[in-house]
Amino acid sequence: MQILMSGLIFGCIYGLTALGLVLIYKTTDIVNFAQGEMAMVTTFVSFVFLSNFGFGYIPSLLLALIFAAIFGIAIHQIVMKRVQSAPPLNQIVVTLGLFMILNGMAGLIWGHKPTSYPQAVKGDSIKLGSVFITPNELFILCITFFLMLIFFLLFRFTRVGLAMRASAQDIKASQLMGIKVTSVFTATWAVGAILGGVAGIMTAPITFLDTQMMFEVLIMAFAAAVIGGFVSLPGAVIGGLFIGVFENLIAFYISPEMKLVYTFLLIILVLYIRPQGIFGGKQTLKKV
Amino acid sequence: MLKLNDVHAFYGRVHALRGVSLEVPEGKIISLLGGNGAGKSTTLNVISRLIQPKEGNFELNGQSMLKKSPSDMVKQGVIQCPENRRVFPLLTVEENLKIGAYQRKDKNIQLDMEKVYTYFPRLKERKIQKAGTLSGGEQQMLAIGRSLMGKPKILLLDEPSLGIAPILVSEIFKIIKEINNEGTAILLVEQNAHMAMSISDYSYILENGRVALEGNSEDLKNDDEVRKLYLGA
């Protein structure tokens, strides 16, 4: 039980990162390999607010998320907008380039020494039935489900959500209906960056704060997205939870070093048996 | 009210329009005819501001539109119902209609939706169905309904008869006429020249990106040359 529980906590983080990936892919058709690095930068910014300015946890979190939104907007307006109609391979190379630039810049600014990062909520483990859970882990669980709920409502019931879903399906038809597709895409990048930022800030207390912190998370998030079918938002989160539990089981029963290997095996297996993912529809594999 | 003057435009690298001039006056149905690749859809896309012409003028009520965005055109009431319907397949019928009213902020949206449902009662029955599950004819009705939700002053219809059962085609054309009777001007692009000429007031025939022939639809329809070349009779 305890293994399942801690798997779920990691799963939430993977799920949040995957949610950002899938959101951006679903709407703008771009696979954002820089998602993890954008999250890492946001996490560093939050740390600057925390330690250099001495703000509290919640104000720092909110300020960092505002930064994340602006950061996402800037990335889209300055870089991604220009490759929107480029072939997918070019887009992938651009996001990989962003990945390396962000990673290098963060290293230059903040150095490469891992620092510890405070938890959101302090306190001793609570016993829930047969499992122990720290308040911080509980916080991660809650925030993941809260964000999922928010996104569900946003997509289903708001004008912007409707415009996002429409733009994801048919750019030309959306333009003809008066939707400013570029602005919708910019908003998507902002939201994607915020989701990544939350994931980063949740990751930092567990892994230490450094420029490499999101590498493994991003790989797991990709695995989660693939399992979820890469276009389904709930699929991404459920995929994340599944990967988290799976990884923890492997680490416990086989060996911690093998968890990445088995995760890749799982991706291959899923792609082999059900290439559209478990939650993906027919139209998933549009290209590549 | 809408006027193109000697418009040249490229579609990719193809010189698709080589000097098209046409006019859509208030309240009329104008048909734009011609074979595949004659430049009909390109003309509509110039009007919807998806394609920037290389040369020439495009005016709405005497004002140049060459610097406007596609969403500006929708705001001005120039709305295109694109070729092949292009409804949003994963949205429900009702959501598709809501998207049509995306630019509007007034309170009559619900009323206009009811009106679309009176034009096309089948859509009302399928309100909560995903648009992708509709038949071709129903999707065309939805596409037209979606454009109506934007309160068009000029409706640009691109091949509404394409790939649709003949019975539905006449039903759809009847509704197009009705929409026009309520005051909306229509620019109708069609391959089905006979159908188009029978409901339009004036027709332009495009050939290789130029207006090859124009005139009152009634006159053109009875012209021997036109009958032979375009109506296949």
Written as one string, the DSSP assignment of A66-88 is HHHHHHHHHIIIIIGGGGTTS-H
Output the CA angle B19-B206-B154, nearest 5 degrees: 85
Nearest CA in chain A to B157: A176
Please report residues of A whose CB lies closer than 8 A to that of B87: 173
Q: What is the pLDDT of residue B232?
A: 67
- Å between B80 CA and nearest CA of chain A: 6
Nearest CA in chain B to A282: B90
Which residues lie across from B5 on neighbouring strands? B57
- What would the two tokens of residue A142 be? 């809650």
- What would the two tokens of residue B138 be? 């129903």
Written as one string, the DSSP assignment of B6-60 is EEEEEETTEEEEEEEEEEE-TT-EEEEE-STTSSHHHHHHHHTTSS--SEEEEEE
Q: Report how far residue A32's alpha carbon sits from residue A93's, in angstroms, rounded to the nearest whole number.
A: 10
Nearest CA in chain B to A183: B71
Q: What pLDDT digit, counting tens, does each position of B61-87 carry?
A: 999 999 999 999 999 999 999 999 999
Q: Report how far residue B86's alpha carbon sits from residue A50's, in angstroms, rounded to the nearest whole number.
A: 50
Could you tell me the pTM of the whole model? 0.85
Q: What pLDDT digit, counting tens, does each position of A247-283 carry?
A: 999 988 988 888 888 888 888 888 888 777 666 654 4
Integer angstrom CA distances of residue B17 from B23, B87, B210:
16, 27, 6
* ipTM for the complex shown: 0.92
Residue with token string 């209906």: A177
Nearest CA in chain A to B46: A176
Q: What pLDDT digit, counting tens, does each position of B147-202 carry?
A: 999 999 999 999 999 988 888 999 999 999 999 999 999 999 998 888 899 999 99
Q: What is the pLDDT of residue A280?
A: 60
When computed from its CA atoms, the radius of gyration of chain A, rounded to whole angstroms, is: 19
Please report residues of B whose CB lies closer than 8 A to that of A169: 88-91
Please report residues of A whose CB lies closer than 8 A to that of B95: 162, 165
Helix (H) or strand (E) holding B105: none
Ranges under pLDDT 50 in chain A: 282-288
Nearby residues of B66 by Cβ (< 8 Å), 6 or more positions away: B52, B53, B57, B58
Do residue B88 and residue A180 have CB atoms under 8 angstroms apart? no
Residue A286, Cβ density class (10 Å: 0-12 exposed, 13-18 middle, ≥19 buried): exposed
Do residue A177 and residue B98 have CB atoms under 8 angstroms apart? no
Q: What is the pLDDT of residue B49?
A: 95
Q: Report how far residue B86's alpha carbon sits from residue A170's, in angstroms, rounded to the nearest whole number.
A: 7
Q: What pLDDT digit, counting tens, does each position of B12-59 carry?
A: 888 999 999 999 999 999 999 998 889 999 999 999 999 999 999 999
Which residues lie across from B157 on neighbouring strands? B81, B188
Q: What is the pLDDT of residue A196?
A: 94
Nearest to A180 among B71, B82, B100 (CB): B71
Other beta carbons within 10 Å of B37: 15
Nearest Cα to A186, choosing from A88, A98, A52, A73?
Answer: A73
Q: Report how far residue A18's alpha carbon sits from residue A35's, in angstroms, rounded to the nearest whole number.
A: 9
CA atoms within 13 A on the CB side of A98: 26
Output the CA angle A120-A126-A127, nearest 5 degrees: 150
Q: What is the pLDDT of residue A286?
A: 41
Do residue B99 and residue A169 have CB atoms under 8 angstroms apart? no
Q: Assess contact for A227 and A242: CB atoms under 8 A.
A: yes
Phi and psi at B169, nearest 5°, equal: -60, -45
When computed from its CA atoms, the radius of gyration of chain B, rounded to whole angstroms, is: 17
Q: What is the pLDDT of residue A156?
A: 87
Q: How remote is the C-alpha of B74 from its chain's centroid?
A: 13
Q: Does B48 touch chain A (CB under 8 A)?
A: yes
SS3 content of chain B, % helix, strand, coil (to 5): 40, 25, 35
Nearest Cα to B144, choosing from B201, B204, B193, B79?
Answer: B79
Q: Report how far residue A139's alpha carbon sits from residue A145's, in angstroms, rounded to the nearest whole number.
A: 10
Instruction: In chain B, count H helices and then E strands.
Output: 10, 10
Q: Report how far residue A279's alpha carbon sits from residue A260's, in angstroms, rounded to the nearest whole number.
A: 23
Which residues lie across from B189 on neighbouring strands? B32, B158
- What would the two tokens of residue A207 be? 């892994």
Is the per-residue pLDDT at B233 higher than 80? no
SS3 of residue A255 by DSSP: coil
